[in-house]
Every structure is written in structure tokens, then in C-alpha cells.
């Protein structure tokens, strides 16, 4: 369940200390070399940011009227979280937010993507809002703006109010879609005077399949395929209703769009035939969520493949789902499918991953820098998208504090350097990526892995809550400062 696989072990090389050479402090990497090659620049108005989510960092789960979420319940169920922990305390961000905003400012980043906890705003999911529900986010947003950081809000990062799961079956019911629309309108009315960009739903592709299909994430259900497809449809409907509500109740000019972990299709290698095949595969393999949002219909291929398990829907629902978006967020970590052209229907084939394919500290996180070039390029072509944000990208690492108090996350720097060079390649060719949010600002509660997987730029000691910059902080600060990526 937790991805524990055996690996070959390599003999450890002697450290620099064995030679009497002291390691350099983390910030030393920020010093420019006189013979440094010319960097590859991003567009001058490119948005550099970082990202987090409410349940993973806030803690304070029983404070100021917050209700329970499905992740509160799930994380307290024996055997569901690898290290037996929960988000009850997490990073104590609810009380340490000013300190954490200081970390963002220290990066030089000018944008921050955070999520709002639905159970803080509507403890029962619907009905009467909690008077204190948005007070924390008011303070957070004001502090961000005070520090010159633009807030990007996310309405749903998996923390569904438990009452909705209990009363109507959560996302199994369109009642939850309607409740989400009401919640979105309430948040927009309160915050859109300062939060000008709002992501609706984060990673339907993850929480639908993992939570309702495979039982891995909250609420831990293993439903038949027909029910899973219906759940996904209700989530798409919720997105559409939220867009309508934000347009109706938010300030004029408020921008809105989804943030989805696109089924990333990469041509096996760059030939016209493989690229065309990858375009077709991108459309078909994302029809269940991104496709129906951006096209207002499910593809014939999707419906044919689903057969009797296809979702039930009305023409009116499709109109709601396909409300115009101002941008599309793509969460891109790893290649999901390598695609080759085929002379057999449907004209493309998915290639198997060899066992030796490289991956990062997380087994699922295969290293494919070209993914962040191809995924937005193909998405923009297939759906004629004008504005794309990389709403998440990053990696876990071993992230050990060394004797000198430093964290030398060279593997994360390797990963980011290569991915960002491919992203720069995309923007230089006119792919409409307008910004990048690095996941994550700091180590946090990493869902089923608890606190064992660390994705942060800042190391967190979860006993003392001390935040320590990793070497990647200096790397990312340099990228942001130059708006460019070196070699």
C-alpha cells in the first residue's frame, strides 16, 4: 500500500569530511560565478510561487468552529497512514502563518497558492457558515499582500466536510456539487477583493480514483467503475457550479480555473507521428475531467470505453461543467504515459515502463523532465488553452539534517533544474505557461505517508516546528531572482 519496494544498495562513498574538506553552507550556492554561462530566461512577467494545502499544514483542527473532514476521520483510522500520524497538528501554520509567509518572502517568490479548508467555512458542508470560518484566511491574505506576495486560493484540496460524506455520500451525490457551489460563492464574496485568482478543485484525478475507487485515500471506498465515473462527473459539475458562483458573487475580474494532475502523455520520441498520437491520447485519457470541462462533452472514445459504466448526465449539466475558464492549472510531477503511434485502433499505444526507469525518493515519482514540456504543449494544442499555470511541481527527497545543520538536497536540485529547463523550452516556443508553483513550501503531512515523505524547500522538525532552509532554497531563490534557469 505504501510503495515499499526493495532496491539495490550501493556502497557509501566516503564524505568530504574524510578528506578534511568542509562542506559549504547552503547559501553559498547563490553566489554567481564569473564564468557562468548565459541563462535561459522566462517571460518577463512570469509568476514564480510556491504552494501548500490546508490539511497538510494548518493543524488546529478543533479550533474556531472548524468541522471534521474526511481526512480527519481517515487519518485516525488504524492502518491508513504509514506512520500512524494525522494532520491534527501538522505544521501549526494556523498559528505560525506570519513566520511561513516570511519563508516565501525569503525565496523572492511573488505568489503563493494556498487552499481554504471547506470545514472551517461550513462545518457541516452546507447551511449556516461558521462566523470565524474565513477569519484566518483574511489574516493570511492581508499578510501576504503586506509582504508583496500575490495570493492564489484553492477551494478544494481534498478536505471534504465529513457530514456531507455521512449524509449524502460525499461526491457520490450531486448534492455535494451544489453545496460546493454555495461554498465557492461565499468565499468569493468575502475574499475576491484581494484574492484575484481562484483554483476550484485540486487533482480530481487523484482523489476520485484513490478515494472512491481504490480505497487508498479518504474516504477509503472501493466502488464499482460506474460509481467512480459518476463521482468524477459530480466533481466536474461542482467545478462548473463554482465557476458560476464565483462569477455571480466575486468581484469583477476575478479569475478562475481548475488545477488538475493531467494524465501526462509524452511522445516516446519526437516524430510527427508520435506527437500526433500523443495529442490524441491526451484528449482521450483526460476526457473524464479536464476534457469535459474544456469541451463540454465526453469524447466518443471515453463513452465507448466506459460502456455501461459511463456516467449519467444531462445536457444542462454539461453546459454548467463547461463554463469558460480564465486559466488551467496543471500539476506535473512525472510522465504517466509514453505514447507511440500505432497502425491499429485507436491509432496510439501506451508503452510499458521498464523496471529500471529512474525515480525519485517516492517510488511513483518517475523522473521525466520532458513531461513539463509536453504536457502543457499538448494541452494547449488540444483544447486551445490561452493561460496555463504549473500549479504543482516538485519532488520528495531523503532530506536528512547533517551534522552541520544543513540539508543538502542535491537530488531535488537535479530534478528542479532539469524540469525547469524543459519548462523554459516550452515558454520559449510560445506554450502559454504563465507561472510556476513549486510544491511545496515546506515539509508537511504527506497524506498516506504521514510525515515520512518530505517535499518541502524548508525542512520541518515536527517536534519543535523549526523550519530550516534546504540547499534547494538557495537554488530556487537564484532562479526567481534571475527569472532564468542555468545549466
Q: Flag whether 202 is marked binding.
A: yes
Q: Flag whether 157 is marked binding.
A: yes
Q: Flag whether 333 is marked binding.
A: yes
- Catalytic-labelled residue, pool 58, 150, 203, 279: 203
Tell me if residue 386 is catalytic: no
Q: Which residues are CB-contacts of 68 (< 8 A; sequence separation ≥ 6)? A: 61, 119, 161, 162, 163
Q: Flag whether 95 is marked binding.
A: no
Backbone angles phi, psi at 385, to 5 degrees: -80, 135
Q: The domain 47-482: what is its CATH number? A: 3.20.20.80
Q: Flag whether 118 is marked binding.
A: no
Q: Which residues of the chain carry a pLDDT beneath 70?
A: 1-37, 487
Q: Which residues are CB-contacts of 119 (< 8 A; sequence separation ≥ 6)? A: 66, 67, 68, 69, 125, 159, 161, 162
Residue 136 cell numbers, joined: 484566518
DSSP secondary structure string, 197-230? EEEEEE-HHHHHIIIIISSSSTT-----HHHHHH
Q: Nearest Cα to 49, choosing from 106, 4, 109, 96?
A: 109
Q: Which residues are CB-contacts of 452 (< 8 A; sequence separation ≥ 6)? A: 82, 83, 446
Residue 43 cell numbers, joined: 517571460
Q: Please state, as a whole number, how many other Cβ atoms lie within 10 Å of the Cβ of residue 405.
A: 10
pLDDT for 27 equals 47
Q: Flag whether 348 is marked binding.
A: no
DSSP element (H, E) containing 177: helix 174-191
Helix, strand, coil shares, percent, the chain, to 5: 40, 15, 45
Question: Is residue 340 a contact partner of residue 348, using CB atoms and an 8 Å limit?
Answer: yes
Domain boundaries, the chain: 47-482
Tell me if residue 273 is catalytic: no
Residue 189: alpha-carbon gap to chain centroid: 25
pLDDT for 205 equals 96
Residue 174 cell numbers, joined: 450531486
Q: Flag whether 9 is marked binding.
A: no
Q: Taken in order 334, 330, 160, 397, is the CA torsion positive or negative?
A: positive
Condensed to tens digits (0 to 9), the pLDDT of residues 186-221 reads 999 999 999 999 999 999 999 999 999 999 999 999
Q: Using CA atoms, how far apart are residues 54 and 45, in angstroms rounded to an integer?
A: 28
DSSP element (H, E) containing 351: strand 348-351
Q: Using CA atoms, how far apart are residues 177 and 87, in angstroms rounded to an integer?
A: 25
pLDDT for 441 equals 98
Burial 4-32 (b: 16+ CB within 10 A, else e): eeeeeeeeeeeeeeeeeeeeeebeebeee
Q: Taken in order 50, 393, 229, 162, is the CA torsion positive or negative?
A: negative
pLDDT for 39 equals 80
Sheet holding 265-267, edge to edge: 265-267, 337-341, 348-351
- Catalytic-labelled residue, pool 82, 150, 370, 392: 392
pLDDT for 37 equals 64
Q: Nearest Cα to 420, choosing from 471, 472, 455?
A: 472
Amino acid at each position: 500500500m505504501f510503495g515499499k519496494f526493495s532496491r539495490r544498495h550501493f556502497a557509501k562513498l566516503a564524505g568530504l569530511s574524510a578528506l578534511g574538506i568542509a562542506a559549504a553552507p547552503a547559501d553559498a550556492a547563490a553566489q554567481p560565478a564569473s564564468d557562468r554561462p548565459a541563462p535561459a530566461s522566462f517571460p518577463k512577467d512570469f509568476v514564480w510561487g510556491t504552494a501548500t494545502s490546508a490539511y497538510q499544514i494548518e493543524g488546529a483542527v478543533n479550533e474556531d468552529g472548524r468541522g471534521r473532514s474526511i481526512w480527519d476521520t481517515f487519518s485516525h483510522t488504524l492502518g491508513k497512514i504509514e506512520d500512524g500520524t494525522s494532520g491534527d497538528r501538522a505544521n501549526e501554520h494556523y498559528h505560525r502563518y506570519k513566520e511561513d509567509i516570511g519563508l516565501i518572502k525569503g525565496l523572492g517568490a511573488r505568489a503563493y497558492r494556498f487552499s481554504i479548508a471547506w470545514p472551517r467555512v461550513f462545518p457541516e458542508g452546507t447551511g449556516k457558515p461558521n462566523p470565524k470560518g474565513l477569519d484566518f484566511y483574511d489574516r493570511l491574505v492581508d499578510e501576504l499582500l503586506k509582504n508583496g506576495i500575490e495570493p492564489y486560493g484553492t477551494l478544494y484540496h481534498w478536505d471534504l466536510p465529513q457530514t456531507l460524506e455521512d449524509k449524502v455520500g460525499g461526491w457520490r451525490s450531486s448534492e455535494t456539487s451544489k453545496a460546493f457551489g454555495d461554498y465557492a460563492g461565499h468565499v468569493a464574496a468575502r475574499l475576491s477583493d484581494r484574492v484575484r485568482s481562484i483554483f476550484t478543485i485540486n487533482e480530481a484525478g487523484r482523489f476520485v480514483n484513490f478515494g472512491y475507487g481504490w480505497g487508498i485515500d479518504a474516504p477509503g471506498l472501493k466502488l464499482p467503475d460506474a460509481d467512480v465515473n459518476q463521482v468524477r462527473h459530480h466533481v466536474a459539475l461542482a467545478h462548473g457550479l463554482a465557476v458560476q458562483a464565483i462569477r455571480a458573487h466575486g468581484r469583477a475580474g476575478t479569475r478562475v480555473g481548475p488545477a488538475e494532475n493531467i494524465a501526462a502523455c509524452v511522445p516516446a520520441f519526437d516524430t510527427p507521428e508520435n506527437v500526433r498520437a500523443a495529442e490524441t491520447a491526451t484528449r482521450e485519457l483526460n476526457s473524464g475531467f479536464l476534457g469535459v470541462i474544456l469541451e463540454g462533452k465526453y469524447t466518443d472514445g471515453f463513452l465507448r470505453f466506459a460502456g455501461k459504466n459511463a456516467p449519467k448526465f444531462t445536457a444542462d449539466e454539461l453546459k454548467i461543467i463547461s463554463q469558460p475558464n480564465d486559466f488551467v492549472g496543471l500539476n506535473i510531477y512525472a510522465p504517466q504515459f509514453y505514447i507511440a503511434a500505432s497502425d491499429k485502433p485507436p491509432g496510439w499505444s501506451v508503452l510499458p515502463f521498464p523496471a529500471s526507469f529512474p525515480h525519485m525518493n517516492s517510488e511513483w515519482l518517475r523522473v521525466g523532465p520532458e513531461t513539463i514540456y509536453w504536457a502543457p504543449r499538448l494541452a494547449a494544442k488540444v483544447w486551445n488553452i490561452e493561460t496555463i499555470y504549473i500549479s504543482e511541481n516538485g519532488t520528495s527527497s531523503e532530506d536528512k539534517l547533517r551534522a552541520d545543520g544543513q540539508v543538502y538536497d542535491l537530488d531535488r536540485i537535479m530534478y528542479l533544474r532539469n524540469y525547469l529547463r524543459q519548462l523554459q523550452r516550452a515558454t520559449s516556443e510560445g506554450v502559454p505557461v504563465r507561472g510556476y508553483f513549486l510544491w511545496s513550501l515546506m515539509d508537511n503531512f504527506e497524506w498516506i505517508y504521514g510525515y515520512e515523505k518530505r517535499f518541502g524547500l524548508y525542512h520541518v522538525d515536527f517536534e519543535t516546528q523549526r523550519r530550516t532552509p534546504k540547499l534547494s532554497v538557495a537554488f530556487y531563490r537564484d532562479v526567481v531572482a534571475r527569472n532564468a534557469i542555468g545549466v
